[in-house]
């Protein structure tokens, strides 16, 4: 009796044995349906054997799921992800399972239903041509490139020029995007630059049938270009010739639950194993990529100028917040600049990385402030309808008429969010056409595409939005960017806060003046001499990154060291503290044999309570990746045997925050 070992999507460190019914054609990589307890589950066969130690209790495989077995390359990549990121094998292999389809649909070109674009392909400038030439010259062998270009420098054109050469040689190209909202504009660019290429997109917003059809087109080699978000790194591509990671610094490439993999790092590994070049593009490279380039592991390609020869860097200025006569958070110089753009028929963007009306509600008489009963966070004021909402657990309350603590009716919204700014702008400029772009206004399918089209059709004068608008979008008539509330990030305890803030500010500032109209950026801050703002003013990200890397080296923080985070949560703080104390004791015993691994004491998580769960964490650090990996594998096995059922725990390798 032949036996298959099947990895199932459950948090156990082993595969399950099932017997193979006669006539069933299965092999390693086959996706099958089996019974697990009283429920049906889809799993992946990781091996076939002639015998099993549990033959008297084996169940049969019910069926083979339609489609060929998962390619060995993808199986290996998923198994590596499980080992490196300390996840159960079945959960890791689930990443490689083809997307299910409610209905089969014909293969098609991904760009076929995109809106027409009247722009013609433009010739590359010398810097772009040089970068594209170096990438194209590396086709057929592994090479990692850091493509660093100022915002508006035309990195996309470089990607597509290199992709054109890869496709001409019969290869496939994988292009990873950080956000779904960036894919429509990218589809248009592909259609212009490579009009005959077969291209598909892969992301969670696609209908099930379309997503499976696109996946099949990629796996069969029909699709020559695949554009997708982080999960697309596991897409089988038999003719893979080039990998591109756009905006590689973006935290969206890091999965924050389940298998906590980083798609950028897996993309580099995949390119290395396949012997093809990988391009990491960004105006503000992550410090991990920056350090790799400084160490010579990545070749640096520079785009120092904007692609449009008419475009010049925007003028950047700073205005104070304290002591100014700001109206709903908007300073007088910024209001004046908005009025000037309206008079000239140009577009403006007000950027604040907070949605809702106000971040909190406070009583003017006592100490009461709106707090979430389930999280260690404030409730955010929202209007339309009037509610207090938690942005972490989705808890919702009616907006109180009076203070719940003292009965005072004078309740004050503290701070400002996108709703409040939109209201203020409409009141100040009633003739202006204002659009708010945040998670609330773009929740429905197609909502973002609709407002983006309105911007391109010049049906919007003033945009109020969050970081959804900060990167990747090209609006030629947008000449003013106003930044509000950026100082909040300077108070963060997160060691990556300034790195993220510089990246965000440079990205959002880059939206201004991308064509023949001069751009202006006004940042409201009380700390204009802070290194973050000096880097923005001089547009010297390289100098800032070098300084930050030196600080990380002195403090022994990533990317100089390798870290992992053990996180635990339970309804009882005592259960969390007990588990983490035991985990540290066990780690110290194991680390005695693992030279160079340092275990820090347990501490509360950055958000100590979330959705009713008390949360804590333990940080583990090493200068050597191999030493940390060897220790984590043993520690995880030990924790799994002792954790119990009262709490949930996970290990996050290379966390983006702690």
pLDDT in tens, 229-240: 999 999 999 999
Q: Which residues contact 494 (CB under 8 A, 6 or more apart)?
A: 500, 606, 657, 658
- Phi, psi dihedral angles at 119 (to 5 degrees): -70, 140
Nearest to 525, CA basis, from 482, 487, 488, 480 = 487
Do 473 and 600 sit in the same domain of this protein? no
Q: Supply the mean pLDDT for the chain.
A: 91
In-domain check, residue 391: no
| Predicted pLDDT of residue 593 | 61
Of 523, 551, 579, at which residue does a domain stop? 551
Structure confidence at residue 245 (pLDDT): 98
Dihedrals phi, psi of 16, to nearest 5 degrees: -110, 145
Q: Say if residue 465 is in the same domain as residue 510.
A: yes
According to the model, what pLDDT value does residue 152 have? 87
Say yes or no: 215 and 167 in one domain. Answer: yes
Q: What pLDDT, on a 0 to 100 scale, did the predictor assign at position 107?
A: 35
Is residue 398 very low, low, confident or very high in pLDDT (cuts 50, 70, 90)? very high
State percent of the chain over pLDDT 70: 96
The beta-carbon contacts of 336-341 under 8 Å, at least 24 apart in sequence, are 337/480, 337/482, 337/520, 337/522, 338/425, 338/428, 338/429, 338/462, 338/480, 338/482, 339/429, 341/461, 341/479, 341/480
Residues 88 and 115 in one domain: no
pLDDT tens figures, 59-111: 999 999 988 899 999 999 999 999 999 999 999 999 999 998 433 333 333 33
- The C-alpha atoms of residue 163 and residue 167 are separated, in whole angstroms, by 6
Work out the number of other CB atoms within 10 angstroms of the CB of residue 170. Answer: 10
Do 578 and 520 sit in the same domain of this protein? no
Q: Is residue 383 part of a domain?
A: no
pLDDT digits (tens, 9 = 90+) for 249-292: 999 999 999 999 999 999 999 999 999 999 999 999 999 999 99
Distance CA 11, CA 9 (A): 7
> Is pLDDT at 640 greater than 50 in this prediction?
yes
pLDDT reported for residue 554? 95
Nearest to 174 by CA among 162, 182, 192: 162
State the pLDDT confidence band at 308, using cuts at 50, 70 and 90: confident
pLDDT above 60: residue 322: yes
Within-domain flag for 189: yes
pLDDT digits (tens, 9 = 90+) for 112-134: 334 444 455 678 999 999 999 99
330 and 288 both lie in a single domain: no
Task: For residue 506, tell me if it sits in a domain.
Answer: yes
On whether both 178 and 295 belong to a single domain, the answer is yes
The per-residue pLDDT for 378 is 96
Q: Quick one: average pLDDT of 481-507?
A: 93
Are residues 275 and 163 part of one domain?
yes
Tokens of 34: 């089996």
Distances from the Cα of 168 to the Cαs of 136, 234, 265, in angstroms? 11, 24, 27
- Average pLDDT on 287-298 reads 97
Q: pLDDT band at residue 205, thresholds of 50, 70 and 90?
A: confident
The confidence score (pLDDT) of residue 156 equals 94
pLDDT on residue 323:
67
CATH number for position 162: 3.40.50.300
pLDDT at position 115 is: 42
Are 141 and 66 within one domain? no
Q: Tell me, yes or no, whether 365 lies in a domain.
A: no
Report the range of poorest mean pLDDT among 444-453, 492-501, 562-571.
444-453
Displacement of CA 9 from its chain's centroid (Å): 23
What are 185-203's pLDDT values in tens digits? 888 889 899 998 999 999 9
Q: Could you please report the per-residue DSSP string of 365-402?
A: SSS-B-B-SSSSSBPEEETTTTEEE-TTT--EEEPPSS
Residue 328 has pLDDT above 90, yes or no: no
So what's the pLDDT on residue 470? 78
Whole-number Å distance between alpha carbons of 545 and 536 = 12
Domain ranges, residue 157: 110-303
Question: Which CA distances in Å does 107 have to 180, 199, 200, 602?
Answer: 21, 10, 9, 52
Q: Does 532 fall in a domain?
A: yes
Residue 308 within any structural domain of the chain: no
List residues bridging with 615 in a β-sheet.
569
- Together in a domain, 340 and 458: yes
**CATH of residue 19:** 3.40.1440.60
What is the reported pLDDT for 590? 87
Give 139-142's long-range contacts (Cβ < 8 A, gap of 24+): 139/165, 139/166, 139/169, 139/171, 139/241, 139/242, 139/276, 139/277, 140/241, 140/275, 140/276, 141/275, 141/276, 141/277, 142/271, 142/272, 142/274, 142/275, 142/276, 142/277, 142/278
Output the pLDDT for position 643: 76
Residue with tokens 């059709």: 457
pLDDT value at residue 106: 33
User: Who contacts 296 (Cβ-Cβ below 8 Å, separation ≥6)?
Assistant: none
Tens digits of per-residue pLDDT, 504-523? 999 999 888 887 899 999 99
Count of domains observed in the chain: 4
Give the per-residue pLDDT at 472. 67
The Cα 98–Cα 479 span in angstroms is 44
Looking up residue 626, the CATH number of its domain turns out to be: 3.30.70.600
Tell me, yes or no, whether 522 and 573 share the same domain. Answer: no
pLDDT tens digits for 527-555?
Answer: 999 999 999 999 999 999 999 999 999 99
pLDDT at res. 120? 57
- Same domain for 117 and 257, yes or no, is yes
CA-to-CA dists, residue 367 to 404, 412, 645, angstroms? 11, 12, 39
Q: Which residue has the higher pLDDT, 301 or 152?
A: 301
What are 26-49's pLDDT values in tens digits?
Answer: 999 999 999 998 899 999 999 999
- The pLDDT assigned to 116 comes to 42
Domain-located, residue 152: yes
Q: What is the pLDDT of residue 110?
A: 36
């Amino acid at each position: 009796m032949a036996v298959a070992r099947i990895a199932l999507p459950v948090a156990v460190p082993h595969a399950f044995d099932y017997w193979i019914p006669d006539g069933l054609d299965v092999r390693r990589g086959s996706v099958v349906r089996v019974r697990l307890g009283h429920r049906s589950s889809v799993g992946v066969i990781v091996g076939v054997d002639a015998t099993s130690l549990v033959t008297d209790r084996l169940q049969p495989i019910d069926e083979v799921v339609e489609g060929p077995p998962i390619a060995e390359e993808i199986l290996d990549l998923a198994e590596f992800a499980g080992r490196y990121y300390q996840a159960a094998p079945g959960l890791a292999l689930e990443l490689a399972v083809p997307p299910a389809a409610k209905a089969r649909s014909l293969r098609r070109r991904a760009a076929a239903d995109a809106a027409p674009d009247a722009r013609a392909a433009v010739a590359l400038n010398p810097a772009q041509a040089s970068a594209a030439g170096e990438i194209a010259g590396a086709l057929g062998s592994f090479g990692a490139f850091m493509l660093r270009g100022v915002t508006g420098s035309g990195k996309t054109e470089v990607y597509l020029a290199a992709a054109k050469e890869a496709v001409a040689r019969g290869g496939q190209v994988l292009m990873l995007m950080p956000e779904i909202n960036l894919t429509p504009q990218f589809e248009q660019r592909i259609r212009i630059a490579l009009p005959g290429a077969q291209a598909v997109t892969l992301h969670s917003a696609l209908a099930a049938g379309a997503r499976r059809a696109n996946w099949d087109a990629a796996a069969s080699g029909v699709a020559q270009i695949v554009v997708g978000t982080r999960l697309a790194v596991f897409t089988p591509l038999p003719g893979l010739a080039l990998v591109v990671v756009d905006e590689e610094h973006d935290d969206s490439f890091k999965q924050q639950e389940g298998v906590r993999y980083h798609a950028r790092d897996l993309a580099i590994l995949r390119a290395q194993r396949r012997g093809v070049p990988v391009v990491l593009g960004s105006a503000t490279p992550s410090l991990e990529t920056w350090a790799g380039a400084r160490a010579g592991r990545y070749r640096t390609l520079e785009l120092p100028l904007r692609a449009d020869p008419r475009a010049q860097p925007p003028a950047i200025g700073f205005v104070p917040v304290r002591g100014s006569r700001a109206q709903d958070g908007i300073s007088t110089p910024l209001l004046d600049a908005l009025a000037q753009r309206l008079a000239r028929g140009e577009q403006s963007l007000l950027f604040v990385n907070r949605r809702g009306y106000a971040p909190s509600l406070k009583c003017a008489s006592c100490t009461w402030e709106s707090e979430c009963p389930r999280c260690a966070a404030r409730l955010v004021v929202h209007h339309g309808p009037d509610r207090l909402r938690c942005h972490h657990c989705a808890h919702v309350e009616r907006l109180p008429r009076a203070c719940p603590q003292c009965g005072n009716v004078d309740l004050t919204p503290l701070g400002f969010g996108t709703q409040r700014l939109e209201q203020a702008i409409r009141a100040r400029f009633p003739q202006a056409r204002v659009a708010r772009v945040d998670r609330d206004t773009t929740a429905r399918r197609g909502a973002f595409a609709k407002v983006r089209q309105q911007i391109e059709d010049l049906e919007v004068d003033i945009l109020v939005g969050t970081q959804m608008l900060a990167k990747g979008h090209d609006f030629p008539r947008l000449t003013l960017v106003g930044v509000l509330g950026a100082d909040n990030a300077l108070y963060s305890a997160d060691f990556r806060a300034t790195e993220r803030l510089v990246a965000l500010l440079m990205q959002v500032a880059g939206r201004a003046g991308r064509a023949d109209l001069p751009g202006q950026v006004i940042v409201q801050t009380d700390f204009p001499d802070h290194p973050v703002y000096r880097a923005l003013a001089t547009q010297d990200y390289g100098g800032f990154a070098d300084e930050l890397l030196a600080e990380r080296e002195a403090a022994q923080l990533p990317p100089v060291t390798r870290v992992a985070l053990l996180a635990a949560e339970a309804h009882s703080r005592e259960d969390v503290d007990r588990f983490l104390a035991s985990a540290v004791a066990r780690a110290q015993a194991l680390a005695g044999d693992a030279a160079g691994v340092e275990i820090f004491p347990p501490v509360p998580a950055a958000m100590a309570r979330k959705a009713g769960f008390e949360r804590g964490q333990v940080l583990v650090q090493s200068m050597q990746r191999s030493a940390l990996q060897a220790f984590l594998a043993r520690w995880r096995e030990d924790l799994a045997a002792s954790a119990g059922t009262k709490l949930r725990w996970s290990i996050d390798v290379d966390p983006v925050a702690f």
